[in-house]
A and B are shown apart, each in its own frame.
Chain A
Amino acid sequence: MSPLALVLVLLGTAPADEAVVQPGETLADVARRMLGSSEAASELRAINHLDSDRVSPGTHLLLPGPERNRAVSAIASAKSAVRQAKAGAARTEASERLADAERSLAAARYGEAAAQADGAWKLVSQRPDDPSRFAVQVGDDGATRVRVDSGVPVRVEAEGRTRAVSPGESVLVRRGEAPGVPTPEGAAVATAALEAPVLLSPAADVRLALDPKGKGVGPLRLAWRPVSGARGYLVELKGTASQTVRTARAEVSLPAMPTGAYRWSVRAIGLEGALGPASERALELSTSTIRLDVQEPSWK
């Protein structure tokens, strides 16, 4: 087992929204164990910003929050409605939106997936008898925003592309461009920008003398102030050894690290998996001096 894997194994028990990779497990195994389906491995990869499906035993992985359940439920409802719908343009378009929703789910963009699934459901569950209300707003630059308040979907055409906009959705069309993807009204609130974490300890450019642990020293505790809207944090150490840790808490404790100079950074991970800006500090690890205090025995 590599020193890095050993360090990760020693990280301790994972909280409820994290999972620790067990020996012999793949990402698909973790997805099956924690999320009920090996297909959810892509979600874990997206949430944890992993480059591949290979994960070392002991690695802490962030798990999706409750927003995943809503997306999965919305997709299931939409699938059922699409299956029961009569063949036609509405079902075709709803099927396309459903495929978009599944792609968003696989990329752990849960809010987007739920909205797309809801849109698909509305397309095949429309009631033509309901009054249709929508607004068209044209700006000074000729850009058009269409917002649908109620009734059947409205079709927005531009540059040879047509989009169906369902109640509760809006779409923006810029001059010379095709309509964008309809978005739920107020969706921008959910994707508010994450702030850079405020690092608390250790202080910047500090030299830490830690106890010898294995081939290194430890434990090294890193802490920062929680970021509003963050579902987890990506912590990176670069220097004598490099290490990446994902955690749901605003702190992490590394049992052992080789001595030397490091830079450590923390970035918040948003609800949709987006990364916020990084905060970074430097530190140096050294071995604490072992003080031997040998006293003369009293019996002598």
Chain B
Amino acid sequence: MALCLTLLAAGAACRKSSPSGAPPDAAPEAPARATLQQLKGPVSVKRAAADDWTVAREGMALLENDTVRTGTSASALLRFPNGSSVLVGEDALIGIAETRGAPGRDRTDLTVRRGTVDATLDRPATQDLSVGTPSATVRAGREIVFQ
């Protein structure tokens, strides 16, 4: 029995330490960059170190360099820790706080590679959000309140 428990514990540890095999809804060790909510239709997530896409789940924490993909007629709401939110529309492909941005560009909270996102900052005086795309960087909120 003790041997069985030891083997089970070792197996669990192996799964947890495996970068590509980590379940997408497992408690992440790194701080969450955003949370997935209000999922509708086919939405999938690819972890930074994973090779495969997995089905997204309500409340799933998204980490740095994770990617989210929505299918036809699908949508998902990304809630950021500062309270700002982004509604990802259908047929979109986005990255979370990617460190591999375009050369010479600052890191952004979100990268939109394809599709449309609708962003909301309820308190722009205290919140900020930066969105990168293949051709531009969009900044909103606290950083650009000039006065």
**Interface flag for A153 (CB, 8 Å):** yes
**A137-154 with Cβ < 8 A to chain B:** 137-138, 140, 142-144, 146, 151-154
In the bound complex, residues from chain A placing their C-beta under 8 Å from that of B145 are: 126, 128, 152
Tell me the interface secondary structure of chain B in the complex. strand
**A side interface size, CB within 8 A:** 38
Closest to B115 in A: A138
Q: Interface code B99-142, partner A: CB below 8 Å = 1, 0 otherwise?
A: 00000000000001111111111111100000101111111110
Nearest chain A CB to B123's CB is how many angstroms away? 7
Q: Interface code A121-165, partner B: CB below 8 Å = 1, 0 otherwise?
A: 000001011111111111010111010000111111110000010
In the bound complex, residues from chain A placing their C-beta under 8 Å from that of B124 are: 128-132, 151-152
Q: Which of A58-66, A172-180, A248-256, A285-293 contacts B (4 or more CB under 8 A)?
A: A172-180
**Interface flag for B144 (CB, 8 Å):** yes
Closest to B104 in A: A160
**Interface flag for A88 (CB, 8 Å):** yes
In the bound complex, residues from chain A placing their C-beta under 8 Å from that of B115 are: 137-138
Nearest chain B CB to A227's CB is how many angstroms away? 37
Nearest chain B CB to A62's CB is how many angstroms away? 40
Nearest chain A CB to B36's CB is how many angstroms away? 18
A146 CA / B37 CA spacing, docked (Å): 24
**Which residue from A85, A91, A154, A174 sits with its C-beta under 8 Å from B138?**
A154
Nearest chain B CB to A133's CB is how many angstroms away? 5
**Which residue from A90, A128, A135, A176 sits with its C-beta under 8 Å from B135?**
A176
> Given A129-B125, A131-B120, A138-B112, A157 and B137 touching (CB < 8 A)?
yes
**Interface flag for A86 (CB, 8 Å):** yes
> Given A128-B124, A152-B144, A158 and B119 touching (CB < 8 A)?
no
Most chain B CB within 10 A, of A85, A128, A164, is at A128
In the bound complex, residues from chain A placing their C-beta under 8 Å from that of B147 are: 85-86, 88, 90
A86 CA / B143 CA spacing, docked (Å): 17
Q: Interface code B59-79, partner A: CB below 8 Å = 1, 0 otherwise?
A: 000000000000000000000
Tell me if A152 and B140 are in contact (CB < 8 A): yes
Tell me if A156 and B138 are in contact (CB < 8 A): yes
A130 CA / B136 CA spacing, docked (Å): 25
In the bound complex, residues from chain A placing their C-beta under 8 Å from that of B133 are: 136, 138, 142, 144, 173
Most chain A CB within 10 A, of B114, B119, B133, B137, is at B133
**Interface flag for A188 (CB, 8 Å):** no
Tell me if B141 and A136 are in contact (CB < 8 A): no
Task: Tell me the number of A-to-B contacts counted with CB atoms below 8 Å.
Answer: 107
**Which residue from A86, A91, A132 sits with its C-beta under 8 Å from B140?**
A132
Tell me if B136 and A137 are in contact (CB < 8 A): no
Interface size class of B (residues with CB under 8 A): 20 to 34
In the bound complex, residues from chain B placing their C-beta under 8 Å from that of A146 are: 136, 138
**Interface flag for A89 (CB, 8 Å):** yes
**Which residue from B117, B120, B121 sits with its C-beta under 8 Å from A136?**
B117
Closest to B140 in A: A154
In the bound complex, residues from chain B placing their C-beta under 8 Å from that of A130 are: 124
Closest to A165 in B: B138
Nearest chain B CB to A155's CB is how many angstroms away? 5
Nearest chain A CB to B112's CB is how many angstroms away? 5
In the bound complex, residues from chain B placing their C-beta under 8 Å from that of A133 are: 118-121
Nearest chain A CB to B107's CB is how many angstroms away? 13
Chain A positions within 8 Å of B, measured between CB atoms, are 85-86, 88-91, 126, 128-138, 140, 142-144, 146, 151-158, 164, 173-177, 179
Given A129-B125, A134-B138, A142-B133, 5 other A-B residues pairs in contact with their CB atoms under 8 A: A88-B146, A130-B124, A134-B118, A135-B119, A156-B137
* CB-based closest 4 A-B pairs: A142-B134, A90-B146, A132-B124, A128-B125
Q: List 11 A-B contacts (CB under 8 A).
A: A126-B145, A131-B124, A132-B119, A142-B133, A146-B136, A146-B138, A151-B140, A152-B145, A153-B144, A154-B139, A173-B136
